[in-house]
Structure 1
């Protein structure tokens, strides 16, 4: 009797555990590791420095308003002939869970109510962790991948202070 009770409890446990693994769907991850990639050129410094300047807090007229749009360029050279285009993904800390805004680096006296927004060459907002539009590549010359960074108000009130941030990027080849 005792063995039957133990067997019954074990069977119920196994059935309960198997129902915990029930799936609602599947995700297939695909990709490819390529033999060679382009060389990323940072002609001025490594890491690339993008200076958004000193902007008055009165430049912001409310949440969603922007200021200090600044173009920056990632350059790729020595690209293999086997890749025709590349896209770029920027990674960093999002502001208040909004992946379209890069959070400011927390430091003494940091500005509040503002973050940094990135856009691609067509001026389309480029959320973090999302591939940009594809840029054509040449294997025989330096390729300029143009982007724009700007401050964006994330609240009605913006306070003054340092407004710096850091993002890393990954080049994905197509």
Structure 2
């Protein structure tokens, strides 16, 4: 008990010294600069999904007898990885050059520079339920769960004029993913 009584005056003396020392310090302002970024919750787009080459197939021009006839479809996926629990859905906006006859379709383009383009067909983009997705518009919302997610889509050729002439039937399609 006696040790505690001696300690209290010592602590009071030290506290007074601190106050006296503080009076001698320049009280000028100090500036602290902070930096950082607040980012939206998102998923990582799998690198294999970012630059895909999708071979829709080789089809005879003869299968397109009427405007609206289609080829078989080819599936492709957009893989979203490491999605956080804060994300409940995503929307995908597909863009590219729309077809002159049917603007909801993707026009063919000479991606190889070799010429010899097919005519009378364009590329139709479909969701996993086989509903057409118009080019240059935002698609429906897709539910997202925490972790990894696959968004499935399909491509096929669609006749826009007859007769369809054979040739190169390539194009370029871009996509942007937004999260909610």
Name the TM-score class by shorter chain: 0.7 to 0.9
1:54-69 equivalence runs, <5 A? 54-69=58-73
* Structure (1 or 2) with the greater helix fraction: 2
Structure 1: gaps of 5 or more residues: 1-32
Residues 149-158 or 125-134, more deviating: 125-134
Partner of 2:77: 73
Structure 2: gaps of 5 or more residues: 1-37
TM-score (norm 1): 0.75
Partner of 2:144: 137
The Cα of 1:115 is off from its aligned counterpart by: 0.6
Partner of 2:56: 52
Distance 1:96 1:109 in 2: 18
Distance 1:160 1:58 in 2: 9
What is the alpha-carbon root mean square deviation over aligned residues? 1.8
Of 161, 164, 168, which residue of structure 2 is paired with 1:158? 164
Distance 1:72 1:34 in 2: 29
1:94 paired with 2:98, answer yes
Partner of 1:115: 122
Structure with greater Cα Rg: 2
TM-score (norm 2): 0.72
Residues 80-110 of structure 1, C-alpha deviations (whole Å, 9 max, x = no match)? 2211011211000001063311000134110
Change in 2 beyond 3 A, CA 1:60/1:38: same
